[in-house]
Every structure is written in structure tokens, then in C-alpha cells.
């Protein structure tokens, strides 16, 4: 299957999932909402959020932020648009593919933010998105990604394996993506910090554009 077909499948999946995404995601969101202020509180300037989804992050951005939020799914953006009415910053929502970003200028952004984007992307697609992050970030611009991994703890791993088929079917997400490795192989993005928000599952990857 080629990249175009992969993206068509993701687009179709999320145009359906959008209608019940927030309901399905609520058990996890009860945890995620506690993390969002710290993840986004220090972000300033021109920001691109890749995979903005239904806009759960929007109200946590500082009022000075000039935010561009992109998503592959128009249905998800419709949900984000409604949620964005309660945000404090300027928001522009754009239907765009994170692996191409044809409408997004180069060297424009101080930050790229993505929460649970790359775990949805097939491994063959992720390097294309990372290349776009390189292109659109200003020299010295920063990135912060939140992703999920399989735990090394056998008990946690067994729980993850039980829900993995559901998570992949509904969200297209997997626990075994190699996002950190792809960033390490990037020409311009340099990882400056990694840490877990909970157990060894929820991984934050931070860094900067070295151009």
C-alpha cells in the first residue's frame, strides 16, 4: 500500500471516528487534561499543532500564541472549531496532511506541537512528517511530541496488548511506533530531552531545529 492510500484510509477512519471520538477518549482524557497545562504552558510565538484532532489542546495555549492547527480529517476540524471558541489565542485551523503540508510556509514556526500524532502514522509515513517539521520550523525553533509506547513492565504490557486491537481499529494508533528513532535520524531536528509522564508508556520528546 502506498502513502497516498495510507492517508486515504486514515482520513476515512477519522471522518467516522470524529463523531464519537471525544466519548471514546473520555477515560484517557481524564488523565490527559491534567498534563496539558504543563505541556503547553511555556509555548509562545508562532505554533503549528500537527494533528489538532478535536481541539483538546486549544484552551491551554497562552494568549500570545499565533496557532495554526492542522488535521487530515475535516470532521475532526469541525469539532476543533467549536472547541476553539473558548481558546485564548489566535487560531487558524487548516485541513492538511502532516506528511506534505503543501499550504504551510517554510521557516515560519517557533514551535511544533503534536500529541499522539506519530503513533497513528504508519512507520513508512513518519519520516515524511518529520521532514516537514524540519522545513516549517525556524532555525532554533522547538518541538514537543507526546507519544505512547509499549511498557517494559509485563503487567502493563499485558493490559496494553488487550486493548491494542481496539486502539488500532478505532484510532489507527499503535504502541510500537519508532518515532524517537526517526527523529534521531533527522538531519536537522535534535532531541534535547525525553521523559515519561506516566510509567514508561507516555513519552514526551523535546528538541530543536539545528539549522
Decide: 62 and 89 in contact? Cβ < 8 Å: yes
Decide: 159 and 98 in contact? Cβ < 8 Å: no
pLDDT score at 23: 77
Looking at the DSSP bridge assignments, the partners of residue 111 are 47, 142
Mean per-residue pLDDT, 160-188: 93
Looking at the DSSP bridge assignments, the partners of residue 204 are 146, 195
The two beta strands, 202-209 and 189-198, are antiparallel
Closest by CA to 133, choosing from 141, 122, 124, is 141
| Per-residue burial over 54-73, b = 16 or more CB atoms within 10 Å of its CB, e = otherwise | bbbbbbbbeeebbbbbbbbb
Domain, as residue range, for 81: 3-209
What would the pLDDT profile of 107-118 be if each residue is shown by its tens digit?
999 999 999 999
What would the pLDDT profile of 123-148 be if each residue is shown by its tens digit?
888 999 999 999 999 999 999 999 99
**pTM to 2 decimals?**
0.92
Classify 75 as helix, strand or coil: helix
pLDDT score at 28: 86
C-alpha cell at 3: 502513502
For the chain, how many structural domains are there in total? Answer: 1
C-alpha cell at 17: 471516528
pLDDT score at 47: 98
Q: Which long-range contacts (CB under 8 A, 24 or more apart) does 183-191 make?
A: 183/130, 183/145, 183/207, 185/127, 186/130, 186/131, 186/134, 187/134, 188/134, 188/137, 189/130, 189/133, 189/134, 189/137, 189/143
pLDDT score at 13: 62
Alpha carbons 205 and 191: distance in angstroms, whole number? 7
* CATH number of residue 115's parent domain: 3.40.50.150
Amino acid at each position: 500500500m502506498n502513502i497516498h492510500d495510507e492517508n486515504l484510509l486514515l482520513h476515512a477512519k477519522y471522518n467516522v471516528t470524529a463523531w464519537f471520538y471525544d466519548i471514546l477518549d473520555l477515560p484517557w482524557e481524564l488523565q490527559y487534561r491534567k498534563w496539558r497545562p504543563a505541556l503547553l504552558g511555556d509555548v509562545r510565538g508562532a505554533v503549528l499543532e500537527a494533528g489538532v484532532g478535536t481541539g483538546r489542546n486549544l484552551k491551554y495555549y497562552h494568549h500570545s500564541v499565533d496557532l495554526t492547527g492542522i488535521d487530515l480529517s475535516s470532521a475532526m476540524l469541525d469539532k476543533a472549531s467549536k472547541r476553539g471558541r473558548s481558546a485564548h489565542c489566535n487560531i487558524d485551523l487548516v485541513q492538511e496532511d502532516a506528511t506534505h503540508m503543501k499550504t504551510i510556509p517554510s521557516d515560519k514556526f517557533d514551535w511544533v506541537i503534536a500529541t499522539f500524532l506519530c503513533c497513528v502514522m504508519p512507520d513508512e509515513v513518519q519520516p515524511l512528517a518529520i521532514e516537514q517539521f524540519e522545513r516549517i520550523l525556524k532555525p532554533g525553533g522547538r518541538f514537543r511530541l507526546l507519544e505512547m509506547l509499549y511498557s517494559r513492565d509485563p503487567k502493563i504490557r499485558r493490559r496494553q496488548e488487550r486493548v491494542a486491537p481496539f486502539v488500532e481499529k478505532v484510532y489507527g494508533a499503535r504502541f510500537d511506533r519508532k518515532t524517537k528513532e526517526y527523529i534521531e535520524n533527522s538531519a536537522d531536528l535534535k532531541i534535547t530531552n525525553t521523559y515519561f509522564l506516566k510509567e514508561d508508556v507516555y513519552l514526551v520528546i523535546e528538541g530543536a531545529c539545528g539549522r
